[in-house]
Structure 1
Amino acid sequence: MDKESIPQEITTLVGREVYSNNGVFVGEVEDLRLDLDRHEITGLALYQLNTELFDAETQSARGVIVPYRWVQAVGDVIIINDVVERLHQPETEEDEEEVAA
């Protein structure tokens, strides 16, 4: 029986580091958000956040919840889409000019 077909407890996700698909550290899993009616994970509650990715308001909070649909792979670490990185990319000069116009 291969490893993927063996049922694992969801608590094995707690404590795993989360990285974007570009290799940037996002945070660490502290807890899970579950939909008990559908028997599925809907989100990962992260703490120990990468301060470069999140604004000051988020940093003063206990953590963030990342939608589980962002998860691309689960292994020794968890890989998620780079959505968080894209949310905080600096605006280009063209964007700034358009806003000022």
Structure 2
Amino acid sequence: MHADATPQEITTLVGREVYSNNGVFVGEVEDVRLDLDGQAVTGLALSQLSDELFATRIEAGKGVMIPYRWVRAVGDVILINDTIERLKDDSGEEASA
């Protein structure tokens, strides 16, 4: 879990909504990726993705995996760095991959 957080059951992450630190909805945690040797969460599998961020990038019904290092805070919701919002450029159009 996050270094400054009290240890929690991993299953408590599943179902939580994920937002950027700027308040933009990203998706919902469907599963977690684990490093069993290091006993750490290494990624979050997201579903119910934001149409605004992913509509033309991800096929409907598919999800994305984000690295856990992007996580800034875990509480009632999960906050991640605004890196995900950089999918769009300043004009609101999606940036090329």
Q: What TM-score does the superposition give when structure 1 sets the normalisation length? A: 0.78
Q: Which residue of 2 aligns with 1:29?
A: 29
Q: How does 1:1-101 map to 2 (within 5 A)?
A: 4-5=5-6, 7-60=7-60, 62-90=62-90
- In 2, distance between residues paired with 1:89 and 1:54? 13
**Considering only CA atoms, is the larger Rg found in Structure 1 or Structure 2?**
1
Report how many aligned residue pairs link the two structures: 88
User: RMSD of the alignment, in Å?
Assistant: 1.8
Rounded to whole Å, the distance in 1 between the matches of 2:81 and 2:59 is 20
Q: Secondary structure at the match of 1:37?
A: coil
The DSSP-based 3-state class of the residue aligned with 1:85 is helix
1:73 maps to a residue whose letter is A
- How far, CA to CA, are the matches of 1:61 and 1:84 in structure 2? 19
Query: Identity of aligned pairs, percent?
Result: 67
CA distance in 1, matches of 2:87, 2:27: 16
Structure 2 length normalisation: TM-score? 0.81
Which sections of structure 2, spanning at least 5 residues, go unmatched?
A: 93-97
Deviation at 1:91, TM superposition (A): 5.2
Greater share of residues in helix: 1
